[in-house]
Structure 1
Amino acid sequence: MIAMQPTETITVETATVGCDGGGGALGHPLVYLTLDHEGRVECPYCSRAYVLKDGVKLSHGH
């Protein structure tokens, strides 16, 4: 059985983030992810978690 590495958590200040898994040979295609209403999203490729920085408010209007 292969042990999975712990998921990395990255704090962000924007509603949309780009993830490439860290680039290089261990990376994955660049994907853009949008934080949910709780200020969190997980990359479907590498399971990195992106969370909104404490105190940052996002505007959800146009």
Structure 2
Amino acid sequence: MQPTETIQVETETVGCDGGGGALGHPMVYLTLTAGGHVDCPYCGRHFVLKEGAKTSHGH
């Protein structure tokens, strides 16, 4: 089994399609938690907020 891919992002909402083109999965939009991370329920990619990036949680 391949290790889960970690992707650093600068926005609190991210889109994931599995990155495999036609072999990926449907596009889903995910919102980072207050802790600055979220996992894709389809492929398990782990999205984390890039150090120093700011979100508008609690706007």
TM-score (normalised: structure 1): 0.87
Query: What is the alpha-carbon root mean square deviation over aligned residues?
Result: 0.9
Paired with 1:46 and 1:54, the residues of 2 have a C-alpha distance of 24
Counterpart amino acid of 2:20?
A: G
Percent of aligned positions that are identical: 74
Separation in 2, partners of 1:42, 1:54? 18
Match of 2:10 in 1: 13
Q: Which has the larger radius of gyration?
A: 1
Consecutive unaligned residues of structure 2, counting only runs of 5 or more, are none
- The count of residues paired between Structure 1 and Structure 2 equals 58
User: Could you list the runs of 5+ residues in structure 1 that have no partner in the other structure?
Assistant: none
TM-score, normalising length: structure 2: 0.91
Alpha-carbon separation, structure 1, partners of 2:25 and 2:48:
20
